[in-house]
Amino acid sequence: MMTSGQIITNNDSYVPPSGGVNVDNVVRQLLLAGKTWKAYEEDMPSPCFLGSSSGNYARRHDPLSYYSDVMGSTVQCQNLVPFTQFAIDLANNQLPDYSFITPNLCNDAHNCSLTTADNWLKKNIAPLIASATFQDGLLVVLFDESGSDNTHGGGRVYWMAIGPKVKSGYQSTFSYYQHQSTERLSLEALGLKSFPGAGATAPSMAEFFSSSTPTISVSISPTSATIPSGGAKQFTASVTGATNTAVTWSASAGTVSTSGLYTAPTVSVNTSATVKVTSVADSTKSATASITITPPLTVAVTISPTSATVASGGAQQFTDTVTGTTNTVVTWSASAGTVSTSGLYTAPPVSVNTSATVKVTSVADSTKSATASITLTPPPPSPANPNFSLSVTPPSQTVVRGSTTKYTIKVTPSSGFSGSIAFAATRLSGGARASFSPASVTVSGTTSASSTMTIATGKGRTGTFTLTISASSRSITHSTTVSVTTTR
């Protein structure tokens, strides 16, 4: 009765025909009027669930799910949603024009206490009443039937209307209203003139509402914007104080669509414009947004570094910066050598100093580019005959026979020599012995290395002896001589 103006069934186990019950109903009238709707059903397992029950959800408390306008439409059936969707739609300002809310079998006081039902309303419906969305809305809270009274088909039930246009604290003295009056009221509040079934002749419930004419107001968002030449900006309008929320849009420069999408004209200097939204219900009520239209930015390209010295066959990373456009794609080119799409330049082999350039060009505007100058240097000349030199100090020493004496051996690399050098002593006589610390050294570049040679003289004859000291590395051997004189 509340949604079709007639009793379809009183059987809790009723199963509708496969295509749904084809009678006039609120969904049909809402769709004909271009209005949106949803049924928010607590504990419904999923949208468009048409099973008889699931947990504490009972389809018999969801009358909109029985009609052919819903069952026969995959689109409309998606408007049967779990109650969890209600908080989401409220938070996102996406509530439909018409909402049918059903708590589960506990929270509707069918299986649990009235205190439980009241607490559910406080938790779930109080946020709706406090929201900005509801400030021109109407909420009706009622039961479908009395617990033990069947007078007039369902007994006396609780019924309350909440909204900005509802008379505060008002209680009717009318003999009795029935659900068809609630059906009529819910559609009248949305500006509809046709009511299903008994709703067409049901007593009006206008006595619950103030007769004063609400003041229509219009607002626009945003109230100001800066838009580039030829760019677009979406504006939205809000109309309060009227069930007819239709508006018209106009612009002082550029164009604006019927949905509020503004497109700026092409300008070469900063230009001011306005977008105006006007209420269809009252053409004297409007709101305006101010717009600043900016000219196109000039594309500019820079390259870094702007100059570089690169060795023959070497590489250099260049980077680009593109301003004045959202398209920052570029192309790279080089007068000599190669450059990758990421700006990595590879120099060609050269034998003498050579000049080259790297160029980066904007894809958005091929007339805009930047260039870096490059100096290509040849490889250094190859070192000539790597070698090393050998020296020993002191050149001669005098010691008592049977004692020891030390010499310092020094090797110095040249012409790019790098490697290990070993030491040896020959022409030892009179029982003399030689040792080196270290026995070999490793040198490179131009850094010298040293070793200490210790000569242990024998106890034989005295005299002056000449020793040959050699230093060897691969095919290179250098020798020098020192003398040692032994005395008694």
Which residue segment(s) compose the domain that 350 sits in? 300-377
- 317 forms beta bridges with 344
Which residue type does 316 have?
Q
Q: What is the pLDDT of residue 139?
A: 94
CATH code of residue 468: 2.60.40.10
333 & 451 share domain: no
pLDDT in tens, 346-369: 999 999 999 999 999 999 999 999
CB neighbour list of residue 476: distance below 8 Å, 6 or more residues apart: 387, 388
Same domain assignment for residues 199 and 161: yes
Burial 188-199 (b: 16+ CB within 10 A, else e): bbbebeebbbbb
Residues 34 and 169 in one domain: yes
Last residue of a domain, one of 162, 188, 208: 208
* 137 assigned to some structural domain: yes
Q: Is residue 316 part of a domain?
A: yes
Whole-model pTM?
0.46
Residue in this structure with the two tokens 């046709």, named with its chain if needed: 194
Please enumerate in sequence order all residues whose Cβ is within 8 A of that of 290, keeping only pairs 6 or more positions apart, or say none: 223, 224, 225, 272, 273, 274
374-397 pLDDT, tens digit per residue, is: 999 999 876 578 999 999 999 999
Domain boundary among 377, 411, 438: 377
- Regarding whether 92 and 192 lie in a shared domain, the answer is yes
Number of separate domains in the chain: 4
Q: Are residues 328 and 278 in the same domain?
A: no
Report the pLDDT value the prediction gives residue 316, as an integer from 0 to 100: 97
pLDDT at 215: 74
Pair (259, 186) in one structural domain:
no
Q: What is the pLDDT of residue 431?
A: 78
Of 185, 208, 231, which one is at a domain's C-terminal end?
208
What is the model's pLDDT at position 211?
67
With respect to residue 18, please indicate whether it lies within any of the assigned structural domains: no
**230 and 356, same domain (yes or no):** no
Task: Please check whether residues 55 and 184 belong to one and the same domain.
Answer: yes
- How far is Cα of residue 459 from the mean position of the Cα atoms in its chain? 92
The chain-wide mean pLDDT, for the chain, equals: 92
Cα distances (Å, whole numbers) of residue 224 to 221, 290, 293? 8, 5, 11
Identify the pLDDT of residue 132.
81
User: What DSSP state is assigned to residue 298?
Assistant: P
Do 165 and 225 lie in a common domain? Answer: no
